[in-house]
Structure 1
């Protein structure tokens, strides 16, 4: 996914929180229980990309999930949050892909597409930013009246990048790509993934994470020009003691 300034501006929509509490109510609206993708999720579309990935609720084995279909396209679904990650915060989800991209390569701009990814956006920390970064953000604020988010983690289903690899995004080192699945060996199978966001942020950025301002699912193919289908089950944020 190309991350030009206008596209990053759209992620600034994450700055307005909608869900923030833990307990009996899920932080992220479960796909298995909502009746519409408008129930706590919203489209994330990018200027200059007219072809959008198609997302719809479908039923598989009696459970409601999201099916995403990309054809040289890009867009996502986001849920806005305001969550303090604390000492440990577990992100758990399950997903399935029909295929990976032949030209997919997390280390290049031309290959920066993924049949499935989970995007976690964090609050911007101005006290840790350099002069030019602060100046750029101030300009954006003046011109567009919006705040850009800060760092981000992308959990990706990669093509050839080894599982466990953590690499900077090809467009910006403020986004770190973490390969949690790779290759086509498990294509067509549901895979459950569980990650400690705090531990991953510390490894990726070498510091404690700020507040989480949004989580997105995304299947994109605009850079490779290929096609893919993916399915997303419920995406959950849980404190270690609250895990089911």
Structure 2
């Protein structure tokens, strides 16, 4: 991923309101999602998969994603939920190095620091092709301000839907540090400002096809 990934996670200024529904592809399509392109053009389309309406992502030596600018109050709705499926994996890549920083599927959540870029924080929930589920590492390009979490890993099956649920508030504390009190943690981590989706293969020059179901936040 090129250095412009910084824009994806950090240089986003916005005004947003708290909400629990992030995407309802069958009802709203891609309304309010904006495309950000970094290298070539991955394609994102609303399609039917069986009886479901989902988001289809295709990447061919490309890296672009969909960005939704929406503030979410993690004290009210700390849990993000989604499901996804991929039709292939990017085997043989070292995802912790720049040449291997490609993923068949990933979901970002971002705390936007605005002009104070150093205070921005990003969690990247990825479907890793080469690492074990649960592995965590710093992004190869940006370092410890973007923490990569392998929600799915090399042992997981292709062509199979997986349902995911993560406590984003707790993940932020775990990955960026406990501030020492609940009051300080709330000040640092209460709100996220951006949710993003990306399937990218620009570093490896390969192809990937994945599907994303609706994304939502909940209280439990």
TM range (shorter): 0.7 to 0.9
Q: 2:103–2:199: 8 Å Cα contact kept in structure 1?
A: yes
Task: From the superposition, tell whether residues 177 and 196 of structure 1 become closer, same or farther in structure 2 (CA, over 3 Å).
Answer: same
1:154 and 2:124 equivalent? yes
Which residue number in structure 2 is paired with residue 56 of structure 1?
A: 45
From 167, 173, 183, the equivalent of 1:196 is 167
Which residue number in structure 1 is paired with residue 83 of structure 2?
A: 94
Residue range with higher mean Cα deviation, 53-62 or 177-186: 177-186
Q: 1:105–1:113: 8 Å Cα contact kept in structure 2?
A: no
CA distance in 2, matches of 1:198, 1:104: 30
Unaligned regions of 5+ residues in structure 2, if any?
A: 179-184
Matches within 5 A, 1:213-224: 213-224=193-204
Task: From the superposition, tell whether residues 210 and 174 of structure 1 become closer, same or farther in structure 2 (CA, over 3 Å).
Answer: farther
CA distance in 1, matches of 2:164, 2:49: 19
SS of the counterpart of 1:42?
strand
Which residue number in structure 2 is paired with residue 212 of structure 1?
A: 192
Deviation at 1:88, TM superposition (A): 6.2
From 228, 233, 236, the equivalent of 2:208 is 228
CA distance in 1, matches of 2:138, 2:23: 29
Which residue number in structure 2 is paired with residue 45 of structure 1?
A: 37
CA distance in 1, matches of 2:123, 2:34: 19
Unaligned regions of 5+ residues in structure 1, if any?
A: 126-136, 139-146
Q: How many residues align?
A: 210
From 132, 137, 140, the equivalent of 1:170 is 140
Task: From the superposition, tell whether residues 10 and 193 of structure 1 become closer, same or farther in structure 2 (CA, over 3 Å).
Answer: closer
Deviation at 1:21, TM superposition (A): 3.2
From 212, 235, 238, the equivalent of 2:218 is 238
Which residue number in structure 1 is paired with residue 182 of structure 2?
A: none
Task: Report the TM-score when normalising by structure 1.
Answer: 0.79
Which residue number in structure 2 is paired with residue 133 of structure 1?
A: none
1:179 and 2:150 equivalent? yes
Task: Report the TM-score when normalising by structure 2.
Answer: 0.87
Task: From the superposition, tell whether residues 106 and 10 of structure 1 become closer, same or farther in structure 2 (CA, over 3 Å).
Answer: closer
Which residue number in structure 1 is paired with residue 23 of structure 2?
A: 29
Task: From the superposition, tell whether residues 149 and 99 of structure 1 become closer, same or farther in structure 2 (CA, over 3 Å).
Answer: farther
CA distance in 1, matches of 2:156, 2:199: 19
